[in-house]
């Protein structure tokens, strides 16, 4: 099994790159953002609650997202591995993920941090908003709040993996294919 955390600020390209990498390595992309947006579209209780946070650019409470991940790990026990995209976003989420994997005799092979400057993030997200129609990509103040939330609540997760010698920084600027190449080289060095 190969389990990778793809990490970085909103707009760094995690979703795009996770798709390429899941095909390349035959592992599943597990995006909490995608799962939450699907729950919103289906108007489930989880979706209705999550929407209140997502519309403001705030994080959905830990126990909700950890529950999502626990359900997927249980349902997909025969998987060849996962590329976690947008999870973990807080230190308690990272701790719980380690605990859940450990119970199954598994672990995270590495965390890949896509580095992109803040102004480029805003530019990319606003552009994506014009095409995707994602509510939280439309409003610049919400976009800036998501970046602030990332810096305050999510960046400590990188230190969590650094303490385990699992943090790998990858330049997230340039051509999409060049970034994929850098990520692949890093993953190949882990195996
Ligand atoms: P994303 O698609 O990863 O950019 O996530 C969009 C939004 O979903 C975030 O701004 C959060 O409100 C929520 N979200 C996604 N993943 C998580 C997570 N692991 N923890 C808390 N909130 C999350």
Among 32, 116, 122, 149, which is best to mutate for testing ligand 1, by the most ligand atoms less than 8 A from CB? 32
Is the distance from CB of 3 to CB of 106 less than 8 angstroms?
Answer: yes
List 37, 51, 146, 166, catalytic entry: 146
37 is catalytic: no
123 is catalytic: no
Residue 191: what pLDDT?
84
Residue 128: what pLDDT?
94
Token digits of residue 191 = 């195996």
List 89, 123, 163, 166, catalytic entry: 89
What is the residue-level pLDDT of the chain in tens, covering all 191 positions?
999 999 999 999 999 999 999 999 999 999 999 999 999 999 999 999 999 999 999 999 999 999 999 999 999 999 999 999 999 999 999 999 999 999 999 999 999 999 999 999 999 999 999 998 889 999 999 999 999 999 999 999 999 999 999 999 999 999 999 999 999 999 999 98
Q: Which atom of ligand 1 is nearest to the CA of 34?
A: 2
Residue 176: what pLDDT?
97
Sheet of 81-85: strand order equals 28-31, 81-85, 2-7, 110-115, 167-171
Residue 132: what pLDDT?
86
41 CA to centre of ligand 1 in angstroms: 15
Is the distance from CB of 87 to CB of 81 less than 8 angstroms?
Answer: no
d(CA 102, CA 54): 30
144 is catalytic: no
146 is catalytic: yes
Residue 40: what pLDDT?
97
């Amino acid at each position: 099994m190969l389990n990778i955390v793809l990490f970085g600020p909103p707009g760094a390209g995690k979703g795009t790159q996770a798709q390429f990498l899941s095909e390349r390595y035959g592992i599943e992309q597990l995006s909490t953002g995608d799962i939450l947006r699907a729950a919103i579209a289906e108007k489930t209780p989880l979706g209705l609650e999550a929407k209140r946070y997502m519309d403001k650019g705030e994080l959905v409470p830990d126990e909700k997202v950890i529950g999502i991940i626990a359900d997927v790990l249980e349902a997909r026990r025969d998987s060849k591995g996962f590329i976690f995209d947008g999870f973990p976003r807080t230190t308690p989420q990272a701790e719980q993920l380690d605990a859940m994997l450990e119970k199954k005799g598994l672990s995270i092979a590495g965390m890949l941090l896509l580095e992109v400057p803040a102004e480029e993030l805003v530019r990319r997200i606003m552009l994506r908003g014009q095409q995707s129609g994602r509510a939280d990509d439309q409003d610049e103040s919400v976009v800036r709040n998501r970046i602030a939330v990332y810096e305050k609540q999510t960046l400590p997760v990188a230190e969590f993996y650094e303490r385990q010698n699992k943090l790998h920084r990858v330049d997230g600027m340039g051509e999409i294919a060049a970034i994929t190449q850098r990520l692949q080289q890093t993953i190949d060095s882990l195996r």
